């Protein structure tokens, strides 16, 4: 079920009414949300509901076992380590079977064939359940936090709500159990709902998805990656820029809509984007892009690997390994692995340069306006070129696209239109709008009253429907 559809609008209207009608009866409310979320998730394939409920039951049982083995919160963690290991293995095995088995089998078969060794491994050809990576990350967060003594096992019904809560079910944000579960302890107060912020987030998400991301995808990005040899250097440049804008608008749109929908139901989800293309360093980019993923990788992978506590060489290696695995998390393909490697190496080189400057007593770079502008431009160029590998169907396809930047000189082509350029510029320029400007918009919207808000919402939805495409494409991160 896609957010920007009539089907979801009807679904959410029913859920919204039931949500506030049942809120004074917590147990019945939780059961209703679980049922509604299962309907939402099973809309693609009803069999997926069994995966969702199975993951809930298994991880709740393992979380309880970890807690008991440790002797309670803050207890003996070594005694609980076997249960934690089992929990991590079960979750990663689930992800591996559904998402990675065929990828590694094909890769190994290729290596064996190169040496004349036959007997290829069989392929499972299992359809990838939508949002499975986000589900596994939430499960791991729950069990690991219990092991660390940061969380107690939740009541089974509460944990089921955390697992299946439909706003973030398909593509995040990756809400941590210790952030979400406390919100279930008491019924939510409808008078405390920040509806103005919710409506601004939802409308902004619809604009980014339907009017920017989908337009750029159909008018230049899709064609460039399908047949790069037919595009000029000028068109390739704008196509790469367009994909950078498309993936930001598409993914941040889902996050904004999810956060807005959760707000209308009385729940707060963590922010997932903070103007990432305004970053001055690669590290700063990852503090602003997919914030819940980058912080998850930091807290549950980079720091357990040793972080920066075991010397500079180990720090650089940990950065590269973390982002290699982060790239593989995004998709079962060598393009994603290489994309993660680019960011890991970029972060390591950036960190090494900063360490060298500090050891020499040199000031931080970007002391002047010109220096800061060059930093912004350099990081955006690096990120945009790396996105080519993220989007490409293969490494060869990525190289073919990048090669056109030099090989397609001498022609302007027809793919770069005024709307394409305007949306690309807008998608980057909006990153530099101060946060206080957005807050002023939300405050202004709240002051016009419910009648004015209703008129504004109706007009905005009408314009989005008129200007947007017929129907809506799936969000890009559904396949991750």
- Listed residue (6, 12, 5) closest to 263, CA to CA: 12
In the numeric block, the tokens 């339907």 are attached to 210
| 163 secondary structure, DSSP code | H
Determine the Cα–Cα distance for residues 350 and 334; give it in Å rounded to an integer.
24
Assess contact for 175 and 95: CB atoms under 8 A.
no
Determine the Cα–Cα distance for residues 16 and 264; give it in Å rounded to an integer.
8
- Listed residue (443, 465, 445, 466) closest to 455, CA to CA: 445
End-to-end CA distance of the chain: 16
Centroid of chain to Cα 43: 21
**Residue 208 phi, psi (nearest 5):** -65, -40
* Residue partners of 39: CB distance under 8 A and separation at least 6: 11
Task: Compute CA distances 227 → 235, 237, 334, 338, whole Å.
Answer: 12, 15, 20, 21
Assess contact for 100 and 327: CB atoms under 8 A.
no
Residue 170: other Cβ atoms inside 10 A:
24
Point out the residues that are catalytic: 330
């Amino acid at each position: 079920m896609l957010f920007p559809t009539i089907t979801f609008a009807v679904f959410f209207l029913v859920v919204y009414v039931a949500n506030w009608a049942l809120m004074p009866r917590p147990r019945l409310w939780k059961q209703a949300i679980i049922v509604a979320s299962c309907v939402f998730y099973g809309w693609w394939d009803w069999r997926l509901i069994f995966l969702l409920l199975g993951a809930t039951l298994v991880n709740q049982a393992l979380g309880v076992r970890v807690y008991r083995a440790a002797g309670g919160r803050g207890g003996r963690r070594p005694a609980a380590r076997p249960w934690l290991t089992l929990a991590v293995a079960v979750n990663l095995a689930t992800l591996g079977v559904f998402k990675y088995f065929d990828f590694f089998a094909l890769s190994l078969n290729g290596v064996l064939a190169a040496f004349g060794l036959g007997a290829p491994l069989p392929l499972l050809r299992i359809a990838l359940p939508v949002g499975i990576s986000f589900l596994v990350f939430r499960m791991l967060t729950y069990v690991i936090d219990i092991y660390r003594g940061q969380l107690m096992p939740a009541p089974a019904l509460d944990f089921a709500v955390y697992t299946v809560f439909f706003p973030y079910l398909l593509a995040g944000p990756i809400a941590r159990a210790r952030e979400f579960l406390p919100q279930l302890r008491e019924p939510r107060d409808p008078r405390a709902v920040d509806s103005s912020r919710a409506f601004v987030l939802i409308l902004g998400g619809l604009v980014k998805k339907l009017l920017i991301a989908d337009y750029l995808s159909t008018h230049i990005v899709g064609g460039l990656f399908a047949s790069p040899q037919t595009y000029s250097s000028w068109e390739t440049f704008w196509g790469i820029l367009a994909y950078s804008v498309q993936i930001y608008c598409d993914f941040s749109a889902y996050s904004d809509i999810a956060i807005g929908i959760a707000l209308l139901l009385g729940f707060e989800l963590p922010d997932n984007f903070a103007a990432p293309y305004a970053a001055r360093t690669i590290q700063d980019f990852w503090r602003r892009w997919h914030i819940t993923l980058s912080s998850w990788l930091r807290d549950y992978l980079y720091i357990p690997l040793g972080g920066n506590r075991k010397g500079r060489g180990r720090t650089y290696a940990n950065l590269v390994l973390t982002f290699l695995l982060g790239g593989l998390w995004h998709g079962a393909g060598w393009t994603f692995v290489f994309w993660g490697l680019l960011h890991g190496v970029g972060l390591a080189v950036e960190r090494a340069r900063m360490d060298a400057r500090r050891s020499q007593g040199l000031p931080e770079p970007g002391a002047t306006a010109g220096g800061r502008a060059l930093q912004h431009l350099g990081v955006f160029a690096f990120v945009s070129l790396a996105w080519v590998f993220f989007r490409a169907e293969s490494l060869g396809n990525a190289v073919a696209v990048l090669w056109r930047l030099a090989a397609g000189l001498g022609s302007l082509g027809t793919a770069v239109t005024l709307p394409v350029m305007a949306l690309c510029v807008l998608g980057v320029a909006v990153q530099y709008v101060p946060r206080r400007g957005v807050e002023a918009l939300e405050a202004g919207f709240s002051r016009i009253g419910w009648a004015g808000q209703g008129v504004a919402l109706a007009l905005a939805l009408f314009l989005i429907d008129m200007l947007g495409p017929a129907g809506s494409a799936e969000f890009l991160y559904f396949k991750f």
